[in-house]
Chain A
């Protein structure tokens, strides 16, 4: 049976009514109208659906709504806007770190959670942090450069 959940997304309390086992991805996209998290595989293999849940980069395609609880959720939209982009978003634009851009939500959100823990990573550490995020266009080096430029405070 559908239940009503009060969740905190991008700094605002939101009320959604859905089955508790609904993958959080569909709540973010369809109930809250967010475009950042993307459906890629539904299997937690590619990372396109990543959002940050209480500081953890989380694959929302396999994360049930009922598990969100009181956690603070941040999506790509919660970082910044075209007018006021977050440092990572600005870096991805500066490095032109996208081709199709479908995986980029996962890259930025995974990098955000990673950089919050490791502010001065090496290139190898960045590659390791993104090891479970798939990009098919071959934009990898631009993504690494963008993440590194934020880590260096550029």
Chain B
């Protein structure tokens, strides 16, 4: 790597030392997404999150009043995971659902489950809770057996009431609760409930949080009001590399209600008694700050060239397999290049936090996805020890990954500190969120395949170029919080890294789920980041699956094969075949059916992260040649997520992911000029609206005998290829660059 190549704002913030470290080998974050599957715990092992948080009473407290408090380190981002975790706990403990009280993650007592990310709440968080509940249940039975002087296997439980088949009496969990039996570490090899005994898991329990949300209850961090609370706003630089040339805070200070105007390096903020006063003072400060803005960004239309011309790419083999001597002979080969742009999380509610200092302890209410990792970086940024920083989770607007949630937590902390620790609520303005959130990285992808005379793939070569998808707080080697980089004594961000497979980061789903005799998948990891990047729902899978599933279609076409049959031919996993067959049947797929120039249909498939939920989609589209636009009329989906904990919850997630995927595919691209991000509101970053909705039809293939699989992100990656393949079916033209907006459609058709 060339340490002098950093002509771009994020690259410039590296020290040579960090470059040296990264050059020695890309940083892999092994703790990002530990994969333990619910119900599949190896003998002698505990679920990963229970292994790291062994105390049972850190997960569960059984109260004499007949309720069960559940502590989870996972957080609700609108995906319904907290309700599903409550179901899992009630089921395993043998108590009715209504007895469960879910407590929000809080670093003063919750188990540390790192981030809520990667569709892992149920697989990982659910696994730990289920096991802890099973252990608690056995402990309660053991105690009951001793009290009743009966064998433990003569006992049954119904809603916390333990009865003996010998009829010698009964005792309840609530009577046994006070005896501190959960004040110990979890045991290994505790038996779990079998699926035939379930009556809560597998049912569509209504979400716990929805009634409050639809009636205006206190549901969000934005709704927190503390006595004496002030309102803060930040004034960000106009661009990543902008430097403050002149600064006059006279008019901001003169704004009615202003309590403080803060400047620390390039970090500017205001605190006022009323929210609109803080907003007015922000505007005054924006007018009075003079910035120099370097022309530092690459041409947004030539990101692929920028990536490929980079001199500091780290080239890594993601997967390599060779067919050996018995290789079928390649008859011909095919090549294609695909791309995806930088994409925004674009949360509807800008990020928000409340911070206050009391008795030397900084408390922050935050909609972070990782309360403990956030605590680590906040402590570093404000110079406090971990025990003096307390993070309490409160829900925010849906985040879909790493948005501004963590950054605004530090903003609130800095502004609270500027007013003597008084409670300060900070919400970003719309342009703060768009211009400064970390985007999902752009990708450029080269595909090449060799096929035998019968069209079957004998060799698959895949090269992709991308930035990191992992720049969250709590990672080693820096502080990943925006304001920390702008202070007079700035912190550096952690060096960008990757997540090991099978989860993967940029390489998530880069390894095709198809079985090819020979393949080589190569990542060109670009530590130089022209714009700020981090985790966006499905990480690299969105670009990778777009390319793989589009190219499978191109190969099928060149082989004269039906796209459904061609995919089935290259798969060995029966569950994968089942979702493809199921969606084909549901959508009444007819082999060889051609579009008519305006209408077409396309199929796409993924097994998310190659270990999680299987999804196959068929998109029906209408091409309006007059306006050069695509209307997605209908998407049929089949999904196999193993055991389904909450059927309606999983449907909600799949529907949402499909709609978001259509929005990304048709409309979305972060815009920037040579100086600054220019996507700053909903007009400059449009998303899908109600009139543009496709109909959605979902088939769930339930497997109650199997472990549940992460599903929240799984339906997103296959969306763009299904649309692009439908476009080809309709028009005979390929769309290989996202998004499929008017310009791209027009270019493809002419």
Nearest B residue to A75 via CB reads B216
A4: chain B residues at CB < 8 Å are: none
The verdict on B219 contacting chain A, using a C-beta distance below 8 Å, is yes
Do A101 and B681 form a contact, CB below 8 Å, given A35-B220, A42-B430, A136-B348?
A: no
A133: chain B residues at CB < 8 Å are: 690
- From B329-337, B498-506, B609-617, B648-656, give the one contacting chain A: B648-656
With beta carbons under 8 angstroms apart, the residue of B274, B398, B429, B691 that contacts A127 is B691
With beta carbons under 8 angstroms apart, the residue of A22, A85, A99, A127 that contacts B214 is A85
Q: Is the CB of A101 within 8 A of B213?
A: yes
- The smallest C-beta distance from A67 to any residue of chain B, in angstroms, reads 15
Chain A: interface residue total (CB-CB under 8 A): 60
Q: Is the CB of B207 within 8 A of A103?
A: no
The verdict on A154 contacting chain B, using a C-beta distance below 8 Å, is no
Q: Is the CB of B681 within 8 A of A45?
A: yes
- The smallest C-beta distance from A61 to any residue of chain B, in angstroms, reads 10
Q: Is the CB of B348 within 8 A of A40?
A: yes
Q: Is the CB of B398 within 8 A of A38?
A: no
- From B77-85, B550-558, B594-602, give the one contacting chain A: B77-85
The verdict on A71 contacting chain B, using a C-beta distance below 8 Å, is no
Assembled-state Cα–Cα distance A48/B430 (Å): 12
A13: chain B residues at CB < 8 Å are: none
Assembled-state Cα–Cα distance A46/B686 (Å): 11
Q: Is the CB of B222 within 8 A of A128?
A: no
Q: Is the CB of A46 within 8 A of B274?
A: no
Nearest B residue to A1 via CB reads B256
Main secondary structure of the interface of A (DSSP, over half): loop
The verdict on B215 contacting chain A, using a C-beta distance below 8 Å, is yes
Q: Is the CB of B348 within 8 A of A45?
A: no
Q: Is the CB of B398 within 8 A of A137?
A: yes
A29: chain B residues at CB < 8 Å are: 275
Q: Is the CB of A77 within 8 A of B216?
A: yes
Chain B: interface residue total (CB-CB under 8 A): 61
Q: Find residues 213-264 in chain B having any chain A CB closer than 8 Å to their own CB.
A: 213-220, 222-223, 225, 231, 256
Per-position binary interface string of chain B over residues 533-553, scored 1 when its CB falls under 8 Å from any chain A CB and 0 otherwise: 000000000000000000000
Q: Give the most central of A100, A105, A139: most B CB within 10 Å.
A: A100
- List the count of A-B residue pairs having beta carbons below 8 Å apart: 175
Nearest A residue to B693 via CB reads A140
B696: chain A residues at CB < 8 Å are: 141
Do A82 and B78 form a contact, CB below 8 Å, given A26-B274, A30-B275?
A: no
Q: Is the CB of A92 within 8 A of B210?
A: yes
Q: Is the CB of A41 within 8 A of B430?
A: yes
B660: chain A residues at CB < 8 Å are: 136-138
Q: Is the CB of A96 within 8 A of B216?
A: no
The verdict on B151 contacting chain A, using a C-beta distance below 8 Å, is no
With beta carbons under 8 angstroms apart, the residue of B276, B397, B658 that contacts A26 is B276
Assembled-state Cα–Cα distance A96/B214 (Å): 10
Assembled-state Cα–Cα distance A42/B429 (Å): 8
The verdict on B687 contacting chain A, using a C-beta distance below 8 Å, is yes
The verdict on B350 contacting chain A, using a C-beta distance below 8 Å, is yes
Do A39 and B350 form a contact, CB below 8 Å, given A93-B210, A99-B652?
A: yes
Assembled-state Cα–Cα distance A142/B429 (Å): 29
- The smallest C-beta distance from B419 to any residue of chain A, in angstroms, reads 17
Per-position binary interface string of chain B over residues 628-654, scored 1 when its CB falls under 8 Å from any chain A CB and 0 otherwise: 000000000000000000001100110
Assembled-state Cα–Cα distance A139/B256 (Å): 41
Q: Is the CB of B656 within 8 A of A138?
A: yes
- The smallest C-beta distance from A76 to any residue of chain B, in angstroms, reads 4
Assembled-state Cα–Cα distance A100/B80 (Å): 8
Main secondary structure of the interface of B (DSSP, over half): loop
Do A136 and B658 form a contact, CB below 8 Å, given A35-B216, A77-B215, A99-B398?
A: no
- The smallest C-beta distance from B661 to any residue of chain A, in angstroms, reads 8
Do A130 and B690 form a contact, CB below 8 Å, given A81-B215, A136-B660?
A: yes
- The smallest C-beta distance from A131 to any residue of chain B, in angstroms, reads 5
The verdict on B168 contacting chain A, using a C-beta distance below 8 Å, is no
With beta carbons under 8 angstroms apart, the residue of A39, A82, A130 that contacts B211 is A82
Assembled-state Cα–Cα distance A144/B690 (Å): 9
The verdict on B72 contacting chain A, using a C-beta distance below 8 Å, is no
Q: Give the most central of B204, B223, B690, B693: most A CB within 10 Å.
A: B690
A137: chain B residues at CB < 8 Å are: 78, 398, 656, 660
Do A76 and B216 form a contact, CB below 8 Å, given A33-B225, A136-B348?
A: yes
The verdict on A115 contacting chain B, using a C-beta distance below 8 Å, is no
Assembled-state Cα–Cα distance A59/B658 (Å): 29
Nearest B residue to A21 via CB reads B276
- The smallest C-beta distance from A143 to any residue of chain B, in angstroms, reads 8
Q: Is the CB of A102 within 8 A of B211?
A: no
Assembled-state Cα–Cα distance A40/B347 (Å): 9
- The smallest C-beta distance from A32 to any residue of chain B, in angstroms, reads 11
The verdict on B750 contacting chain A, using a C-beta distance below 8 Å, is no
B217: chain A residues at CB < 8 Å are: 35, 82
Per-position binary interface string of chain A over residues 75-109, scored 1 when its CB falls under 8 Å from any chain B CB and 0 otherwise: 11101111001000100110011111111110010
The verdict on A19 contacting chain B, using a C-beta distance below 8 Å, is yes
The verdict on B358 contacting chain A, using a C-beta distance below 8 Å, is no
Q: Is the CB of B210 within 8 A of A98?
A: yes
Q: Is the CB of B215 within 8 A of A100?
A: no
Assembled-state Cα–Cα distance A139/B651 (Å): 10
A138: chain B residues at CB < 8 Å are: 655-660, 663
Per-position binary interface string of chain A over residues 18-32, scored 1 when its CB falls under 8 Å from any chain B CB and 0 otherwise: 110011001001100
Pairs A–B under 8 Å by Cβ, sample size 24: A2-B256, A40-B430, A42-B279, A43-B430, A45-B430, A82-B215, A89-B214, A92-B210, A98-B210, A100-B395, A100-B397, A102-B78, A102-B220, A102-B347, A102-B348, A127-B690, A131-B690, A131-B691, A134-B687, A135-B348, A136-B398, A138-B660, A138-B663, A139-B655
Add 8 more A-B contacts to A26-B276, A136-B660 (CB < 8 A): A22-B276, A35-B222, A82-B212, A93-B211, A99-B652, A102-B347, A131-B689, A140-B690
- List 7 A-B pairs, minimum CB-CB distance, nearest first: A100-B78, A138-B659, A138-B656, A100-B398, A101-B213, A36-B216, A102-B397
